[in-house]
Amino acid sequence: MKRGLKFAFGAVAAAAAAAAAYTWLVRPWHLRWGSTREELDRAMPLDDVIVKPNYVTTRAVTINAPAARVWPWLVQMGELPRAGFYTYAWIERLMGMDVENTSEILAHLQELRPGDRIDRNGNLVVKAIEPPQYLVLGPPIGVPTGNATWAIELVPKDDNTTRLISRVRARISPNARGAFWVALLDPGQFVMERKWLLGVKARAEQFDAEESRHDANLLDELVTPVAEKIEPSAEQPHEEEKVESLDVEPIGV
For 153-205, write each residue's pLDDT tens digit.
999 999 999 999 999 999 877 777 767 777 767 888 899 999 999 999 999 99
Domain boundaries, the chain: 30-208
- The phi, psi pair for 184, rounded to 5°, reads -75, -40
Q: Is the pLDDT of residue 240 over 50?
A: no
Kindly report the three-state secondary structure assignment for every residue of 34-72: CCCHHHHHCCCCCHHHCCCCCEEEEEEEEECCCHHHCHH
Asked whether residue 31 carries a pLDDT value surpassing 70, the answer given is: yes
What residues contact residue 196 under an 8 Å CB cut-off, 6+ apart?
85, 86, 87, 166
Q: One-letter amino acid identity for 240?
A: E
Q: Which helix (H) or strand (E) covers residue 170, if one does?
A: strand 161-172
Q: What are the residues facing 84 on neighbouring strands?
A: 78
Indicate if the pLDDT at residue 143 is higher than 80: no
pLDDT at 250: 47
The residue that leads in pLDDT, 10 or 173, is: 173
pTM above 0.85, yes or no: no
Confidence class of residue 242 from pLDDT cuts 50, 70 and 90? very low
Question: In angstroms, how far apart are the furthest CA atoms of the chain?
Answer: 157
Q: Pick from 58, 64, 62: which is nearest to 33 by CA? A: 58
30-208: CATH number? 3.30.530.20
pLDDT in tens, 34-71: 999 999 999 999 999 998 898 999 999 999 999 999 99
Which contiguous run of DSSP H or E holds residue 211?
helix 188-229
pLDDT digits (tens, 9 = 90+) for 91-132: 999 989 999 999 999 999 999 999 999 999 998 999 999 999
